[in-house]
């Protein structure tokens, strides 16, 4: 019982510190929507880099990644640490820099605003928001699932799953309602630095406690010898490449990430941030995924419904330190969640509520309604998380694939002035429908020339179905644009910008 009190005390204290920072940020945040959503586009290099970083430090990273490394081996580092670190940095330049230039010129807050104005269509604006909110829901739910599993593992099952999910839901609502983008960015920076530090300390602590890397490798050679070699039946080239591509392209269209393309105070800030990104990713992903891999060689038993990281830390580090790492991980999940909820509320208010319900809503009223929307969205996601529809990796990959369907149509529109409104609609809807049919329609088989072939599977020969869906969307954008004329309300010049 004393250990449980220490664990809960550390977790709650850390979350309260984050909340206090939000209160401080609230005192310097105006009630203007642009300040609430984008911190008046005044974010500098370090804060932009770490707020993007901490926004991605989700349950998918902290618990899903180590879990898959524990079960399948360390090659997950290649998927997330190396390939996605580099791929996302490239996309940040190709898409993020162009979006920043356009946002500076026209004052856009959301992706839907930008596309809706370019193609002269409120319907397109609303469609982009609906697609984004649809796929955002399971990713918010993922954070609540991760928090529930984290506290269950930390307390050895004493704290039930629902309690952890409820705790982070309460804090994420309080934080976003109070803080806005400025508070989110400040806390993200502190939490990003904190998590880098304690994760590396955890690596050293475990190494010292077990007697060095030789002991771990000896255990792995006995229990999981395949972990000491590159590649396996699970980590095929098709799986590694398709997963890395889908995640990187999906991350680019996450509302909480995409909106950060608008917040930098200068192009120099933006360029420094995406240049440093791969280094920062490796500094965190390598130790977390190594810890998951090492647990397999240390004969760690993970209870059903728990995550490997808190179980490993409970075994080899003091109670207070294990609780501190998990508290930081939960705070990082809250950083992801609060950014998602903040961006989701801006998509709802600016791309759905204002255009289709009350166009003349005041900025102060908009900020108030956005805060109410945050509470409703988070509460609904909490109840959905109680159903636990899949593992953290499965839920995360599903959301990544959905967002990835937006990336190529948006990129083509940013760089090719020949895209028409009909082409944009065709690309967005076509890619989404193909992907949705494979996500929600059960796999069936058909016999062709004596062979049994799957239909509506999530992967074919190891390749994620999100990839061909992305290609279909891009092809539709181009072909339909060639076949149709621009609508009279389209404004091609909206995307014509140049660096100073």
Q: What's the token pair of residue 36?
A: 């609430």
Q: Which residue has the higher pLDDT, 80 or 254?
A: 254
pLDDT of residue 422: 96
pLDDT of residue 449: 53
Phi-psi label, residue 443: left if phi above 0, alpha if psi -120 to 50, beta otherwise: beta
pLDDT of residue 454: 57
Q: Which residue has the higher pLDDT, 491 or 272?
A: 491
pLDDT of residue 410: 95
Domain 2-391 has CATH 2.40.50.180: no
pLDDT of residue 431: 94
pLDDT of residue 25: 58
Kindly indicate the confidence band of residue 178, based on its pLDDT and cuts at 50, 70 and 90: low
The tens digit of pLDDT for each residue in 350-383 reads 899 888 888 887 777 777 787 788 888 888 888 9
- Alpha carbons 127 and 54: distance in angstroms, whole number: 28
The tens digit of pLDDT for each residue in 148-170 reads 877 777 777 778 888 888 887 88
- Alpha carbons 397 and 404: distance in angstroms, whole number: 10
Q: What is the mean pLDDT of the chain?
A: 81
Spatial CA neighbour of 331 closest among 189, 206, 204, 180: 189
The tens digit of pLDDT for each residue in 131-145 reads 999 998 888 888 788
Quote the percentage of the chain above a pLDDT of 90.
20
**Beta-carbon neighbour count of residue 212 at 10 Å?**
11
Taking residues 25-49, report their average pLDDT.
54
List the chain domain ranges.
2-391
pLDDT of residue 305: 67
Q: What phi, psi does 85 have (nearest 5°)? A: -60, -45
Q: Which residue has the higher pLDDT, 413 or 438?
A: 413
Taking residues 383-409, report their average pLDDT.
85
- By DSSP bridging, strand 451-455 and strand 463-464 are unpaired
What does the DSSP 8-state code read for residue 498? -
Whose tokens are 């149709």? That residue is: 484
Q: Burial of 187 by CB count in 10 Å (0-12 exposed, 13-18 middle, 19+ buried)?
A: buried
């Amino acid at each position: 019982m004393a250990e449980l009190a220490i664990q809960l005390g550390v977790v709650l204290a850390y979350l309260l510190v984050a909340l206090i920072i939000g209160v401080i940020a609230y005192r310097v945040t105006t009630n203007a929507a642009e300040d609430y959503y984008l911190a008046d586009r005044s974010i500098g290099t370090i804060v932009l880099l770490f707020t993007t970083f901490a926004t991605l430090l989700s349950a998918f990273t902290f618990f899903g990644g180590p879990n898959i490394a524990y079960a399948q081996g360390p090659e997950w580092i290649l998927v997330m640490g190396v390939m996605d670190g580099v791929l996302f940095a490239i996309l940040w330049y190709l898409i993020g820099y162009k979006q920043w230039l356009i946002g500076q010129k026209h004052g856009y807050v959301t992706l839907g605003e930008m596309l809706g104005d370019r193609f002269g269509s409120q319907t397109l604006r609303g469609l982009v928001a609906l697609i984004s909110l649809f796929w955002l829901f399971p990713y918010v739910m993922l954070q609540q699932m991760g928090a529930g599993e984290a506290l269950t593992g930390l307390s050895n099952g004493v704290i039930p799953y629902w309690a952890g999910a409820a705790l982070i839901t309460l804090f994420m609502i309080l934080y976003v309602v109070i803080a806005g983008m400025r508070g989110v960015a400040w806390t993200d920076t502190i939490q990003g630095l904190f998590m880098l530090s304690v994760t590396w300390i955890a690596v050293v602590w475990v190494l010292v406690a077990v007697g060095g890397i030789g002991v771990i490798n000896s255990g792995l050679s006995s229990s999981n010898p395949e972990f000491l070699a590159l590649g396996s039946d699970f980590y095929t080239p098709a799986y590694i490449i398709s997963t890395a591509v889908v995640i990187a392209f999906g991350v680019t269209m996450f509302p909480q990430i995409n909106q950060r393309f608008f917040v930098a105070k200068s192009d120099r800030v933006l360029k420094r941030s995406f240049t440093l990104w791969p280094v920062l990713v490796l500094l965190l992903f390598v130790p977390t995924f190594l810890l998951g891999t090492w647990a397999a060689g240390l004969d760690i038993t993970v209870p059903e419904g728990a995550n490997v990281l808190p179980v490993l830390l409970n075994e080899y580090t003091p109670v207070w330190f294990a609780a501190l790492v998990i508290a930081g991980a939960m705070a990082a999940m809250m950083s992801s969640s609060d950014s998602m909820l903040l961006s989701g509320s801006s998509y709802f208010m600016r791309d759905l509520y204002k255009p289709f319900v009350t166009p003349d809503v005041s900025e102060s009223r908009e900020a108030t309604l956005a805060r109410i929307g945050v509470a409703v969205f988070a509460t609904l996601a909490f109840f959905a998380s109680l159903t636990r529809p899949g593992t953290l990796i499965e839920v995360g990959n599903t959301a990544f694939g959905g967002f990835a369907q937006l990336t190529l149509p948006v990129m083509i529109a940013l760089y090719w002035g020949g895209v028409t409104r009909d082409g944009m609609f065709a690309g967005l809807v076509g890619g989404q429908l193909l992907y949705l049919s494979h996500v929600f329609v059960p796999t069936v088989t058909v016999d062709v020339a004596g062979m049994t072939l799957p239909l509506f599977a999530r992967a074919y020969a190891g390749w994620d179905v999100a990839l061909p869906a992305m290609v279909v969307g891009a092809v539709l954008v181009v072909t339909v644009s060639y076949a149709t004329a621009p609508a009279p309300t389209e404004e091609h010049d909206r995307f014509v910008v140049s660096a100073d």
